Amino acid sequence: MKLSLSSTEPLSVAVDVLVLGIPEGASAKDGILGELTTRLGPAVARILKREDFTGKKDQSVEIPCNDDVKPARLILFGLGKEPLGAIEVRLFAARAGRFAIGAKAASLGVAIPGDVVGSERAAAEGVVLGSYRFTKYLTGDRLPKVQLDKVTLLVAGALTKAAKDAAALGQQVGEAVCIARDLINEPPNELYPEKLADAAVAMCKSRGLQVTVLDRPALEKKGMKLIIAVGRGSRRDPRMIHMIYKPKGANAKTKKIVFVGKGLTFDTGGICIKPAPGMEEMKGDMGGAANVVALMAAVAAVKPDVEVHGIIGSAENMPDGDAYRPGDIFGSYDGKTVEIINTDAEGRLVLADVLAYGRELKPDLMIDNATLTGACVVALGPTVSGYFTNRDEAAERFRKAAKTAGEAMWQLPMVEDLRDGLKSDWADIKHVADRWGGAISAALFLREFVGDTAWIHVDIAGPSMANKAYGLYSKGGTGQGVLTFLRVIDDLATA
Ligand code: BES
Ligand code: MN
Ligand code: ZN
């Protein structure tokens, strides 16, 4: 997609679809609507009245174009009453992008509404995210015939270089988030741990990031016994992937942050096999890992003044003659022994080894993200991620980051009472406690492996995949979390 910023007057851009945002209650006589009436005639007011269009959020209306204007189709979107911020601009642009795809437009013009700081970047991010679709495995009639390959973002004032750079960066960030979506949407026969590692390596190589991959012999040598245990039942061996971004001119004061992702390329549940209905969704059990790859790609574009590590533990959880079982006891990279209770609670085992490895880097903050528990989806619904932390001040900063990024995240408590449920008679710890508070006991288990590192665990089980398009997200993989993590990095850079 070619995306550009232009200060051309909207009705003079030759595009298949032009989208304008209208604030709620805007007068039909002046402003944008007045201008439209002048150019397109009194029909404008009649259509708005007939369609009951008042600019409320989520309202939209099409105004027929004549030969005096350049766009082929003109669509008005309601912006609602609230003052616009970058989040609203991003959502508006995503709506426009989604509309353009539905309308089979090859070119789209979006007038950036309002006078919002950072709106060029936000609009570019939004249009890329909203127009995303995954068509790799469609053939013939199922393949879209039209590609949206030209997007023009329209600004009211003069074009500055800073604005153009911001739009270009927004496109890069949006496209980075789409890397996560692509990886999540890949079918599990095509994307197994080795391939996930290949994708991460390719991303790093093309952007000048360092990367190392540990294959099974290397994991064994390092003593990553829990990752090995989870991957034992699969013919596809597990991997650990370590990506590194170092800022230019890094010194002793440069902050360091580690991101960890759960990369189960498929989760059958293993010996404790899952019921068949919906099991296909478990191709997305590498959503956390996909987010980390996407985040590192975004970081390579944003170039923050922070050292960023992205570490993925990847395996496939399968039932097999050699699969791990309930009752098994394994050591771990940390050294603690773990009694296996339910082989479907595999994610926390993989994360435990990666977190113990990540803490050796002595980061200022370590954040893991994982499609970890159904319990988190029960607690918060399918569109909100839950986060946990061992540091109160980190929670507040993370809350603000999610808020400014426009991603739905809610803190859940580390309830100490539940720690008892992880006591094992036969090993140092067991990995599953009672059913109630399942997202919390999973977090308590992970905490055992982070030492005294400041740490946040984000359970993205709900939002990582969407069963229908909404907000910034398309159906399937969403990449929810990446924009928040980028804010956290920004925040750390200026701290
Ligand atoms: N990958 C699942 C969690 C999940 C559920 C992700 C729904 C996305 C949507 C995880 O590995 C799992 O199976 N967790 C179990 C844990 C239980 C056995 C303690 C769960 O949540 O039921
Ligand atoms: Mn599972
Ligand atoms: Zn899982």
Backbone region of residue 408 per phi and psi (left: phi > 0; alpha: psi in -120 to 50; beta: other values): beta
- Active-site residue numbers? 274, 348
The residue whose CA is least distant from atom 13 of ligand 1 is: 344
Overall average pLDDT of the 267-289 stretch: 98
- Please give the number of the atom of ligand 1 that sits closest to the Cα of 442: 19
- Shared domain for 318 and 278, answered yes or no, is yes
Quickly state the pLDDT bin for 32 (edges 50, 70, 90).
confident
- Please give the number of the atom of ligand 1 that sits closest to the Cα of 342: 18
Binding site membership of 10 for ligand 1 (Cβ less than 6 Å): no
* Residue 114 placed within a domain: yes
Q: How far is the CA of 261 from the centre of ligand 2 (A)?
A: 15
- Ligand nearest the Cα atom of residue 270: 2
Six token digits for residue 305 = 């003044």
- Shared domain for 150 and 201, answered yes or no, is no
- Shared domain for 273 and 142, answered yes or no, is no
Binding site membership of 421 for ligand 1 (Cβ less than 6 Å): no
Binding site membership of 407 for ligand 1 (Cβ less than 6 Å): no
Overall average pLDDT of the 279-286 stretch: 98
Q: Is 28 helix (H, G, I), strand (E, B) or coil?
A: coil
Q: How far is the CA of 372 from the centre of ligand 3 (A)?
A: 6
- Shared domain for 257 and 230, answered yes or no, is yes
**What pLDDT does residue 29 have?**
81
Q: How far is the CA of 345 from the centre of ligand 2 (A)?
A: 5
The residue whose CA is least distant from atom 3 of ligand 1 is: 373
- Per-residue DSSP letter, 21: E
Q: How far is the CA of 242 from the centre of ligand 3 (A)?
A: 21
- Please give the number of the atom of ligand 1 that sits closest to the Cα of 317: 11
Six token digits for residue 461 = 């089980």
Side by side, which strands form the sheet with 17-23?
Answer: 2-6, 150-154, 107-111, 17-23, 73-80, 60-63
Binding site membership of 343 for ligand 1 (Cβ less than 6 Å): no
CA nearest 239: which of 179, 286, 309, 182? 286
Cα(364)–Cα(376) distance, rounded to whole angstroms?
27
Instruction: Write down the residue that tokens 């064994």 correspond to.
Output: 220
- Per-residue DSSP letter, 474: P
Q: How far is the CA of 56 from the centre of ligand 2 (A)?
A: 42
Binding site membership of 373 for ligand 1 (Cβ less than 6 Å): yes
Tell the burial category of 150 from Cβ atoms under 10 Å away from its Cβ (0-12, 13-18, 19+).
middle
- Helix or strand run (H / E) with residue 79: strand 73-80
DSSP symbols for 397-410: HHHHHHHHHT--EE
- Shared domain for 139 and 262, answered yes or no, is no
* Residue 153 placed within a domain: yes
Looking at the structure of the chain, the number of domains it has is 2
The per-residue pLDDT for range 475-489, each reduced to its tens digit, is 999 999 999 999 999
- Shared domain for 242 and 329, answered yes or no, is yes
Q: How far is the CA of 267 from the centre of ligand 3 (A)?
A: 5
Q: How far is the CA of 319 from the centre of ligand 3 (A)?
A: 14
- Please give the number of the atom of ligand 1 that sits closest to the Cα of 284: 8
Boundary residue ending a domain (157, 191, 225) = 157
**What pLDDT does residue 405 have?**
97
Overall average pLDDT of the 364-381 stretch: 98
The per-residue pLDDT for range 199-236, each reduced to its tens digit, is 999 999 999 999 999 999 999 999 999 999 999 999 99
The per-residue pLDDT for range 410-427, each reduced to its tens digit, is 999 999 999 999 999 999
Tell whether the model's pLDDT for residue 28 goes beyond 90. Answer: no
Six token digits for residue 451 = 């030492």
The residue whose CA is least distant from atom 7 of ligand 1 is: 374
Binding site membership of 438 for ligand 1 (Cβ less than 6 Å): yes
Quickly state the pLDDT bin for 30 (edges 50, 70, 90).
confident
Binding site membership of 439 for ligand 1 (Cβ less than 6 Å): no
Q: Is 22 helix (H, G, I), strand (E, B) or coil?
A: strand
Instruction: Write down the residue that tokens 């996560």 correspond to.
Output: 180
Contact (Cβ atoms closer than 8 angstroms) between residue 470 and residue 459:
no
Q: CATH number of the domain at 419, please.
A: 3.40.630.10
- Ligand nearest the Cα atom of residue 264: 3
Tell whether the model's pLDDT for residue 189 goes beyond 90. Answer: yes
Of 387 and 68, the structure prediction assigns the larger pLDDT to: 387
Q: Which domain holds residue 233?
A: 175-494
* Residue 169 placed within a domain: no
* Residue 445 placed within a domain: yes
- Please give the number of the atom of ligand 1 that sits closest to the Cα of 432: 19
The residue whose CA is least distant from atom 9 of ligand 1 is: 461
Binding site membership of 339 for ligand 1 (Cβ less than 6 Å): no
* Residue 87 placed within a domain: yes
Q: CATH number of the domain at 77, please.
A: 3.40.220.10
Tell the burial category of 196 from Cβ atoms under 10 Å away from its Cβ (0-12, 13-18, 19+).
buried
Binding site membership of 101 for ligand 1 (Cβ less than 6 Å): no
Q: How far is the CA of 284 from the centre of ligand 1 (A)?
A: 12
Q: Please choose from 349, 372, 446, 457 the residue to mutate so as to test ligand 1's pocket, defined by most ligand atoms within 8 A of CB.
A: 372
Cα(67)–Cα(75) distance, rounded to whole angstroms?
16
- Shared domain for 206 and 118, answered yes or no, is no
Instruction: Please state the pTM of the whole predicted model.
Output: 0.98
Tell whether the model's pLDDT for residue 31 goes beyond 90. Answer: no
pLDDT mean across residues, the chain: 97
Q: How much of the chain, in percent, has pLDDT values that exceed 70?
A: 100
Binding site membership of 300 for ligand 1 (Cβ less than 6 Å): no
Boundary residue ending a domain (157, 190, 205) = 157
Quickly state the pLDDT bin for 14 (edges 50, 70, 90).
very high
Contact (Cβ atoms closer than 8 angstroms) between residue 324 and residue 343:
yes
Boundary residue ending a domain (157, 183, 201) = 157
Contact (Cβ atoms closer than 8 angstroms) between residue 451 and residue 158:
no
* Residue 162 placed within a domain: no
- Shared domain for 337 and 285, answered yes or no, is yes
**What pLDDT does residue 196 have?**
99
Q: How far is the CA of 215 from the centre of ligand 1 (A)?
A: 25
Binding site membership of 461 for ligand 1 (Cβ less than 6 Å): yes
Cα(288)–Cα(264) distance, rounded to whole angstroms?
9
Partnered with residue 111 across adjacent β-strands are 154
φ, ψ for residue 65, nearest 5 deg: -95, 155
Q: Which of 20-34, 129-143, 215-229, 333-347 has the lowest mean pLDDT?
A: 20-34
- Shared domain for 180 and 147, answered yes or no, is no
Instruction: Write down the residue that tokens 């927004």 correspond to.
Output: 170
- Shared domain for 71 and 199, answered yes or no, is no
Q: Please choose from 184, 271, 281, 344 the residue to mutate so as to test ligand 1's pocket, defined by most ligand atoms within 8 A of CB.
A: 344
- Helix or strand run (H / E) with residue 417: none
* Residue 472 placed within a domain: yes
* Residue 165 placed within a domain: no
- Helix or strand run (H / E) with residue 315: strand 306-317
- Shared domain for 153 and 179, answered yes or no, is no
- Please give the number of the atom of ligand 1 that sits closest to the Cα of 464: 8
Q: Is 99 helix (H, G, I), strand (E, B) or coil?
A: helix
Binding site membership of 344 for ligand 1 (Cβ less than 6 Å): yes
- Shared domain for 63 and 97, answered yes or no, is yes
